[in-house]
């Protein structure tokens, strides 16, 4: 009798926990993620505030799952799921499954105001953290230049930063003082 094939879409905390748990059983697992690394999201604010480098909170998915011989890892974007045919379309290839777990995570919300995104980046990915870091450091550099070139050495126009969101990430980001 062939072993069941389980496809897990997403290698965040949910997807990895499912893979590590199911890997103990006689099933074949395929883990699909659009990136080849898992990001430890609770520390993204430390990347954004220069306390940590991106590599300190990212680990290769294959490395995390390497001790499980019944787990395969694929990098790519799932573009379609056909529940009737029990297939997942991955960049043009069809992957069949017996069981499917969709653990793609969450995305920040602008509550119907997508125009805010260019001014207020979210903090869900390493790319988001690096963009926030870039913006903050640039503003601080410009403020330093302005202070040094002001005729009276005035610092009255120091920059202010606004953190929108009072959840754990927002509180941690607002309270970080490494920059």
Q: Is 141 a catalytic residue?
A: no
What is the per-residue pLDDT across 141-154, written as a single tens digit (0 to 9) for each? 988 888 888 777 66
As a residue count, the chain comes to 179
Report the DSSP beta bridge partners of residue 58: 39
Question: Percent of the chain, pLDDT > 70?
Answer: 96
Res 177 pLDDT > 80: no
The CA-based angle 27-105-23, given to 5 degrees, is: 15
Band of pLDDT at residue 178, cut at 50, 70 and 90: low
- Options 115, 117, 127, 172, the catalytic residue: 172
Q: Is the dihedral of CA 48, 54, 60, 64 positive or negative?
A: negative
Gap between the Cα atoms of 61 and 107, Å rounded: 20
Q: What stretch of H or E contains 29?
A: strand 27-33
Q: Would you state the pLDDT for residue 156?
A: 63
Quickly name the fold that domain 1-179 has: FAD/NAD(P)-binding domain (3.50.50)
Q: Is the dihedral of CA 160, 161, 164, 165 positive or negative?
A: negative
For the entire predicted model, the pTM comes to 0.86
Band of pLDDT at residue 10, cut at 50, 70 and 90: very high
Residue-averaged pLDDT of the chain: 91
Q: Would you state the pLDDT for residue 35?
A: 96
The average pLDDT across 55-61 equals 97
Q: Would you state the pLDDT for residue 179?
A: 59
List the one residue out of 21, 149, 7 whose CA is nearest residue 80.
7
DSSP code for 167: S
The average pLDDT across 31-38 equals 97
Tell me the two tokens of residue 162.
């606004």
Gap between the Cα atoms of 37 and 141, Å rounded: 32
List the one residue out of 70, 78, 76, 74 whose CA is nearest residue 29.
70
Band of pLDDT at residue 26, cut at 50, 70 and 90: very high
Strands 58-60 and 4-9: unpaired
Res 116 pLDDT > 90: no
What is the per-residue pLDDT across 79-95, written as a single tens digit (0 to 9) for each? 999 999 999 999 889 99
Q: Residue 91: left (phi > 0), alpha (psi -120 to 50), or beta?
A: left
Res 108 pLDDT > 90: no
Res 130 pLDDT > 60: yes
Q: How many CB atoms lie within 10 A of CB 71?
A: 22
Q: Would you state the pLDDT for residue 98?
A: 98
Domain ranges of the chain: 1-179
């Amino acid at each position: 009798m062939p072993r069941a094939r389980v496809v897990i879409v997403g290698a965040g905390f949910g997807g990895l926990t499912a893979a590590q748990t199911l890997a103990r059983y006689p099933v074949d697992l395929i883990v699909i993620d659009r990136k080849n690394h898992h990001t430890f999201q609770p520390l993204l604010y430390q990347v954004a505030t220069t306390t940590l480098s991106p590599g300190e909170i990212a680990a290769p998915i294959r490395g995390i799952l390497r001790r499980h011989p019944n787990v395969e890892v694929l990098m790519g974007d799932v573009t379609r799921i056909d529940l009737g045919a029990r297939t997942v379309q991955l960049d043009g290839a069809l992957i069949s499954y017996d069981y499917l777990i969709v653990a793609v995570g969450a995305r920040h919300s602008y509550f119907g105001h997508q125009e805010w995104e260019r001014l207020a980046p979210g903090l869900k990915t390493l790319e988001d953290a690096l963009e926030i870091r870039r913006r903050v450091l640039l503003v601080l550099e410009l403020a330093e230049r302005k202070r040094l070139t002001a005729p009276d050495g005035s610092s009255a126009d120091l920059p202010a930063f606004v953190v929108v969101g009072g959840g754990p990430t927002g509180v941690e980001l607002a309270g970080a003082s490494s920059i």
